[in-house]
Structure 1
Amino acid sequence: MADEATFRADHVGSLLRPPALLKARRRLAAGEITAGELRAAEDAAIAEAVRMQEAAGIDVVTDGEFRRGDFRSGFGQAVDGITMRVFDMPWHTSEGVTKLPSNAYFVTGPIRQRERLAAGEAAYVRSLTSAPVKATLIAPGFLADRYWKDGETDRFYSSREELAAQVAAITRAEIEALIADGVRYVQLDNPGYGAFLGARAGADADGFERALNADIAAVEGVARPAGVTIGMHVCRGNRSSMWLGEGDYEPIAEQLFAALPVDRFLLEYDDDRAGGFEPLRFMPKDKVAVLGLVSSKAPELEREEALARRIDEAAKFVPLDNLALSPQCGFASVAEGGNLLTPGEEFAKLRLVAGAARATWG
């Protein structure tokens, strides 16, 4: 299984936004600077983020999602017909559940793509480094499910399946274009799968099938040149060190791992919210399980020997050659809601992933 696209020291993609970049985005919203000035601030921050990732020794680099307000907004920036609204969302913390104003996106008109989803993001990062570049995209299965609103979306689409087919086609075209541009690693993110775990497992079998079918349509048959990989991050929610989903992967593992034709699954395993490694027994022999053992939510640095023990535990269910390592999620899926770490702690986490991966796989 091991080849140049295994990327043993992986990470999910988003990074803590520098204060200067957050300030520039606020100033643009207030009309105090131009879009060009924001772009220059983004460029400078991304260049520094690339240097940081290279120094950490991680196998792939991203732009930190620095041009996005959150992990979903790249799609909305490129596609008409989507409206953002704010509502109170329940987030889990170690002290219990709290509700915070959160952005939600809905399809409120016919979807029309105006521009590429991630062309400018990927091109700039590739100009900065010779390291393999990862581009991240929101999964169409998540869009088709969460962007639907009864009474509004159904004025323009006869079914969720019709909407899913369109967003899957847009995503597929972007994946193929990114690969043609020289991007070595395309990662989809679907936080929606976390809703089918734990106490809610089996509650919406039709919803799971719709999400899975949309994600399959986006990647099935996409050609991968040598050294290119496509991954899926199964997210459990990520904002200000809080989360949404809990429960092990058992309810969806067999179907998800077998049916979704990606090359690797990035799975959150940083604490007991994710359960044990037993669901990894369903991982096909030609796919990589990326173990998210290093927390992007807590500043405390894990011990390398503890990571080695957990990798050995996972290897009871998946051959060691089909495993890789990463933080469990991004460090700032929401720009203004980054996790409660310092930039130095973020760097230490990435350096730990790189060091532990080298110690395990060489």
Structure 2
Amino acid sequence: MTTTTQTKFPYRYDVVGSLLRPTALKEARAKFSQGELTADELQTVQRAETKRIAAAQVSLGLKAITDGEFNRSWWHLDFLWGLTGVGHYDYQQSYKFHGSKTRTDNADLVGKVAFNPDHPFFESFQYLQSLVPADVLVKQTIPSPTMLFRDNRSDNWHQFYETWDAYLDDLAKAYHETIQHFYDLGCRYLQIDDTTWAFLISKLHETQGDATAHQKYVSLAEDAVRVINQLLTGLPADLTVTTHICRGNFKSTYLFSGGYDDIADYLGQLNYSGLFLEYDNERAGSFAPLKKIWNGNPDKRLVLGLITSKFPELEDVASVKARIQEAAKQVPLANLALSTQCGFASTEEGNELTEDQQWAKLKLVKEIADDVWGAD
């Protein structure tokens, strides 16, 4: 069924971002960490594998592809470490996934936050850009600035700023200038990944009986809306910026549960062109909040993450189509799209499926979207 809308991105079938790290890249990273490979030698392996998976995505028929996040170990920390004013330290704690323990790396403030013109992600973007045919876009993914609000990363903000608002202003400016530089290098599609909203789903709900504790998380949500909309203001009109709302993704496990009800009003205020929403199981709740999240914006697309990236079994096509139609009772079909619920390797460890099973998942996304929306 073909629908009409002015929205171009996200595409009807879209890739969230991360892809499973191949053995060659994992081994090269391990040797690099042990001092057995130089940075240049690691980059040679990384680029060879990036070229391979770029070609695989193009052959699959994806209209926008990513580098699989092969240039990083963590979906968020590597980018944050590349900003001026952000440092690296050992958190001494594993992030609390269900049944699995992560490494203990973390980021913290070591000065005022600012745009870094030599951020290593710029070079990675340019390399991928050099590989794609003219009719395929490079989709750049970066973590949300809200990720600096959490896990002790901003505890020492007062060492560098007189006020919290001054810190948020610098953070928004650093992101705005970073995204503008990606645009100057040719980027036209950028996605901001964010687990803070899923964190808030839990916290806003469980503190409803405690006004003081609840206000803490309301303030966090309000700050998130403020910083995100501030960084988006004034970006070029032909740059599409979307977000992925993630509940955590590590070795096929998760961090957070709960429906979007408690955060729907905040998500509806965000000036993104599209939101990727996880809906692969009952932990995501109902489609009812979609109406508030969409907020009547005819140029906004909500991407339904109905295909799980955590497990290899392929979803039943009829069931997925039925769920799309159910979601269309809340938001026009013209403003919906389809993806996996998350990437396949938010950290270099990756989820528990094979690369062939990963491609089968993405192929299924495309086939279902083609059936539902036609050539749109």
Q: TM-score, normalised by structure 2?
A: 0.89
Per the alignment, residue 360 of structure 2 pairs with 348
Cα distance between partner residues in 1 of 2:152 and 2:176: 18
1:32 matches 2:36: yes
Per the alignment, residue 312 of structure 2 pairs with 299
Q: Secondary structure at the match of 2:95?
A: strand
Letter in 2 for 1:56: L
Q: Where does the alignment leave 5 or more consecutive residues of structure 1 unmatched? A: none
Q: Which residue of 259, 267, 282 maps to 2:277?
A: 267
Q: Secondary structure at the match of 1:250?
A: coil
Per the alignment, residue 84 of structure 1 pairs with 89
Letter in 1 for 2:358: E
Q: Which residue of 112, 137, 153 maps to 1:148?
A: 153
Greater shift in the superposed pair: 76-85 or 173-182: 76-85
Note the C-alpha offset of 1:117.
5.8
1:317 matches 2:319: no
What CA deviation, in whole Å up to 9, does each residue of 1:181-230 have, x standing for no partner? Answer: 222210001111111114643631111111221111111232222xx421
Per the alignment, residue 360 of structure 1 pairs with 372
Cα distance between partner residues in 1 of 2:234 and 2:224: 18
Per the alignment, residue 54 of structure 1 pairs with 58
Q: Secondary structure at the match of 1:90?
A: coil
The percent of aligned pairs where both chains have the same amino acid is: 34
Note the C-alpha offset of 1:157.
2.7
2:17–2:343 Cα contact (<8 Å) kept: yes
**Could you say if the C-alpha distance between residues 159 and 25 of structure 1 is closer, same or farther in structure 2, counting changes exceeding 3 Å?**
farther
Letter in 1 for 2:291: R
Note the C-alpha offset of 1:28.
1.3
1:69 matches 2:73: yes
Aligned length: 353
Per the alignment, residue 239 of structure 1 pairs with 250
Letter in 1 for 2:373: W
What CA deviation, in whole Å up to 9, does each residue of 1:133-162 have, x standing for no partner? Answer: 100111112223445343x34322334433
Note the C-alpha offset of 1:272.
0.6
What CA deviation, in whole Å up to 9, does each residue of 1:220-254 have, x standing for no partner? Answer: 232222xx421011111111111111101111112
Per the alignment, residue 134 of structure 1 pairs with 139
What CA deviation, in whole Å up to 9, does each residue of 1:254-299 have, x standing for no partner? Answer: 2222x21110001000101110100011113221000011101111
Letter in 2 for 1:271: N
Per the alignment, residue 190 of structure 1 pairs with 194
Cα distance between partner residues in 2 of 1:170 and 1:164: 10
Cα distance between partner residues in 2 of 1:274 and 1:288: 18
Letter in 2 for 1:108: V
Q: Where does the alignment leave 5 or more consecutive residues of structure 2 unmatched? A: 209-213
**Could you say if the C-alpha distance between residues 77 and 255 of structure 1 is closer, same or farther in structure 2, counting changes exceeding 3 Å?**
closer
1:9 matches 2:13: yes
What CA deviation, in whole Å up to 9, does each residue of 1:48-71 have, x standing for no partner? Answer: 111111122223100011001111
Cα distance between partner residues in 1 of 2:355 and 2:6: 32
Cα distance between partner residues in 2 of 1:163 and 1:41: 38
**Could you say if the C-alpha distance between residues 112 and 240 of structure 1 is closer, same or farther in structure 2, counting changes exceeding 3 Å?**
same
Q: Secondary structure at the match of 2:67?
A: coil
Q: Which residue of 211, 215, 219 maps to 1:206?
A: 219
Letter in 1 for 2:273: D
Note the C-alpha offset of 1:98.
5.2
**Could you say if the C-alpha distance between residues 104 and 196 of structure 1 is closer, same or farther in structure 2, counting changes exceeding 3 Å?**
same
1:2–1:321 Cα contact (<8 Å) kept: no
Cα distance between partner residues in 2 of 1:102 and 1:76: 15
Note the C-alpha offset of 1:304.
1.8
Letter in 2 for 1:105: A
Note the C-alpha offset of 1:170.
1.4
Q: Which residue of 240, 260, 278 maps to 1:249?
A: 260
Cα distance between partner residues in 1 of 2:101 and 2:26: 23
Cα distance between partner residues in 2 of 1:171 and 1:113: 7
Cα distance between partner residues in 1 of 2:122 and 2:321: 37
Letter in 2 for 1:109: G
Note the C-alpha offset of 1:99.
4.8
Q: TM-score, normalised by structure 1?
A: 0.92
Greater shift in the superposed pair: 302-311 or 62-71: 302-311
**Could you say if the C-alpha distance between residues 54 and 281 of structure 1 is closer, same or farther in structure 2, counting changes exceeding 3 Å?**
same
Note the C-alpha offset of 1:310.
0.8
